[in-house]
Amino acid sequence: MSEPLKSRKRLSSLIYSEKARGVFAQILVTGGIAFIAWYLISNTFENLANQGIATGYSFLSLESSFGISEHMIEFTPADSYGRALMVGFLNTMKVSFLGIIFATLIGFVVGVSRMSKNWILSRIAAVYINLFRNIPVLLQLIFWYTLINNALPSPKRALEVLPDVFFSNRGVLFPVPADHPAYFWMGVVFVIALVGVWLLRRWALAHRDRTGQTFPYAWAGLALVVVSVFITYLVCGAPTEMSTPVLKGFNFKGGAKLSPEFLSLLIGLTLYTSTYIADIVRSGLLSVPKGQEEASTDLGLKPSQTLMHVVLPQASRVMIPPLTSQYLNLTKNSSLAVAVGYPDLVSLSNTTMNQTGQAIEAISIFMAVYLGISLVISLFMNWYNKKMALVER
Amino acid sequence: MSNIAIKPPSQSGIVNWMKENLFSNKLNTVISIICIYLVVKFLAGVVDWGILNAVFAADASACKAASDGACWGIISEKYRFIIFGTYPADEQWRPLLAMVWFVGLIICSLLRSFWKLWLLPLWIASLIGLGILMWGGVLGLSYVENTQWGGLPLTLMLAVVGTVAAFPLGILLALGRRSELPLIRVWCVAFIELVRGVPLISVLFMASVMFPLFLPEGVTIDKLLRAQIGIILFTSAYLAEVFRGGLQAVPKGQYEAAAAMGLTYWQTMRVVVMPQALRIVIPPTVNSFISMFKDTSLVLIIGLFDLLATAKVAITDPVWRAFYIEVYIFVAAIYFVFCYSMASYANNLETELRKGEQH
């Protein structure tokens, strides 16, 4: 074979080799991404240098000099931006946590009602689902916010729906027990008691598997929690002092407050997400074959036992993955707080970047936080799916 | 013996139906009575407020006098602003025509008898036509800057262009995620998971605040386009996951048969896999479009005048300020009609496609 022919053949075999083309494609794509990234980053640094904006996260320790209306940890304008973002993160967690609980409760009720044999109840549930699902959640929460601000009276004419519970356009005020160390210790004991219940349940299930005897761990656990927390209350001096809201001038002092921003966000997120949860509950319950219920009834299980030990465990395998992703959606949607002025992570990041000009840093922080939350949730999902996977054959 | 079937007791008739579906036992009877009472009370209230005591004329003082009725006058007064934003009044037929055309096109694209290849060039031509109609400046149309666009046309455009442009991108990402080439797979997974992990608002913030920093000095892209790019990238990550579901639903034997026939990777995808996968993903794609349609309302946070933003502006008018409920109901009704009809369509199609699979 002559030399040129040989080299041409080598070249053509390279072109037609799938492996070589694969390597080439990967180099091309990675190179392209690297080039675009380099181009954008170099532009960014140039622009920042021209505008005289410093890069880096050192602004986090600077004094924020703005106030935050709602904070779960102490916060004053003298505190740093970093602490302000922490306050925002906790506020995000607070509204998401409560939203998840209420959306789940309402979603279960509506989902079960939707499946009811009672025609009118099922229709009402269907109307509820279609109505709140097909209107943008942002529109819903802006609507609730405007409604609370305009339809409720001023603090001076606040509606006293229950003794010492006031509804006004400044939000809902209600009495809470005044600050006392007893409540801290009750919380500690409560957590310890929960661990105790978990251990009790483990023992009870192992005991059942070993001997066949059941132990009512749910009731025993409930008693354990209630009694231990109550004893702590008595030991710590049984404080009875209450902090009640009182009208002073144009506003209320004392008590605890649910602000209009918080309420509208919570109501909007809850109603919107509950429609999705209702559908998940419905499809989960429908996914359990009817024969399962019939068989368990024939075995003599009570309806409650059938539900707890036969239907729900099977339905939850179908329900938990989409439920988790709805919880994640609710948490991400809580970032719409910025539209009604609830100080969540995104809206405080927004304030921070308006004051400092550190847009990239501020956005990167809240994106990283949301990514972190997503990551934790998907790790949980993987663990759960592995645990619940049907072992076949 | 003759085996004459005994006729079952009549199941029809309104009385029987009610006995079965409303009053089958004590608990059901109680629930039904409570529900009927609440529904009647609610509907009566709505009719009283929304029709009997309502004011339909655009007359603010008449509205204020009728304190226990709705004031639909604000809608007759403001509907053009809410729907078209600040688009010049004499030219509002242009966005109207564009909307009607696109709604028609969407309906056609969703009907199975229209699923032909010419749908693709038609879409491309329509998008170009949309640009000409909205911007103008040629064919004797006066030029309208896109800072003046607003209302429903803007909302529809962000969602439609967002989904249509994200479609090919999503297909590529889905193929990349299932590719056997490790580096390509890693890039695609990284992009998809990154975008799906963050809220849309952060992508919009990036588009409005960070994007200008990425470009070389002197080059600027206007805010609407930046938001549109952000929405396209965001949607493509979600569509990629939808397509991945479709690709996974195509049986492995199909890939193997195509390989056995000597088809290349791209031939296999184009002729064998995609036609089957795309059919499966149409219902979830419609659902993804619906959520995009709802989520475009978020652009109001970065200062664009979509349907929700124009509604908010309409009620800042001091004369009409008190009638915000009517405006929000009006806008919610528009969103609802679009979303609900598309969702019902997707549901029907899904059941229909599932029926086809069973034999």
In whole angstroms, how far apart are CA B324 and each of A19, B229, B315, B346? 64, 32, 6, 33
Mean pLDDT of B13-37: 82
- Give me the DSSP letters along B63-111: HHH-TTS-BTHHHHHHHHHHHHTTS-GGGTHHHHHHHHHHHHHHHHHHS
The confidence score (pLDDT) of residue B150 equals: 78
Q: Which two tokens stand for residue A47?
A: 């622009």
Predicted local distance difference test score (pLDDT) of residue A288: 87
CA distance readout (Å), A79 to A65, A67, A70, A350: 7, 9, 14, 17
| Averaged pLDDT, B114-119 | 72
User: Nearest by CB to B335, which of A121, A134, A359?
Assistant: A134
Contact B154, B304 (CB under 8 A): yes
- A:321-350 residues touching chain B, CB 8 A cutoff: 332-333, 335-336, 338-339, 346, 350
CB–CB of B202 and A346 under 8 A?
Answer: yes
Q: Which two tokens stand for residue A195?
A: 């661990």
CA atoms lying within 13 Å on the CB side of residue B3: 0
Q: Write the pLDDT tens digit of every residue in A328-362.
A: 999 999 999 988 889 989 999 988 888 888 888 88
Kindly report the number of other CB atoms within 10 A of residue A318's CB atom: 17
Phi/psi at A173 (5° precision): -115, 140
Q: What is the DSSP string of A31-65?
A: HHHHHHHHHHHHHHHHHHHHHTPPPSSGGGGSB--
On whether any CB of chain A is under 8 Å from the CB of B121, the answer is: no
pLDDT at B359: 46
pLDDT of residue A1: 46
Interface test with B, best of A367, A373, A375, A381 (most B CBs within 10 A): A367
| CA Rg value for chain A | 29
The answer to whether residue B216 neighbours chain A at the CB level (below 8 Å) is: yes
Contact B199 A332 (CB under 8 A): yes
Dist CA A304 CA B112 (whole Å) = 47
Q: Which of residues 301-340 of B touch A (CB under 8 A)?
A: 301, 308, 312, 322, 324-325, 328, 331-332, 335-336, 339-340
CB of A26 within 8 Å of any CB in chain B?
yes
pLDDT for res A107: 94
The structure tokens 């920093």 sit at B213
Q: What angle do CA B289, B295, B300 make, to 5 degrees?
A: 140
**Predicted pLDDT at B8:** 59
What sign does the dihedral B73-B76-B78-B82 (CA atoms) show?
A: positive
Chain B residues in contact with A374 (beta carbon < 8 A): 193, 196-198
Interval B139-168 mean pLDDT: 83
Q: Say if residues A135 and B335 touch (Cβ distance below 8 Å).
A: yes
- pLDDT at residue A100 in the model: 93
CA B337/CA B357 separation, integer angstroms: 31
Under 8 Å CB-to-CB from A52, ≥6 apart: which residues? none
**Geometric angle at alpha carbon B157, from B156 and B162, rounded to 5°:** 105
**Distance between first and last Cα of chain B:** 39
Q: In chain B, whose CA is at the least distance from the CA of A331?
A: B199
**Low-confidence residues in chain A, pLDDT < 70:** 1-16, 389-393
> What residues of A are in contact with residue B335 (Cβ under 8 Å)?
134-136, 139
Contact with chain A for residue B44, Cβ under 8 A? no
In this complex, the residue of A26, A116, A375 whose CB is nearest that of residue B184 is A26
What three-state secondary structure class fits A165?
Answer: strand
Q: Name the percent of chain A in helix, strand, coil, to the closest 5.
A: 75, 5, 20
Backbone angles phi, psi at A153, to 5 degrees: -75, 170
What domains lie within chain B, and their CATH numbers?
Answer: 145-352 (1.10.3720.10)
Q: How far apart are the C-alpha atoms of B325 and A139, rounded to whole Å?
A: 12
What ipTM was estimated for this complex? 0.86
The structure's pTM equals 0.85
Tally the residues of chain A.
Answer: 393
Q: What's the rounded Cα separation, in Å, for the pair A78 and A62?
A: 9
Which residue bears the tokens 């405007």?
A146
Would you give the distance in Å from CA A77 to the centre of its chain? 28
pLDDT(B186) > 60? yes
| Residue B343 CB contacts under 8 Å (≥ 6 apart), including other chains | A130, A133, A134, B286, B287, B290
Place of tokens 């479609």: B167
Contact status of A124 with chain B (Cβ, < 8 Å): yes
- Cα A338 to Cα A345: distance, rounded to the nearest angstrom: 9
Local structure of residue A80 (DSSP, 8 states): B
Chain B residues close to A50, C-beta within 8 Å: 217
**pLDDT > 90 in chain B, percent:** 12
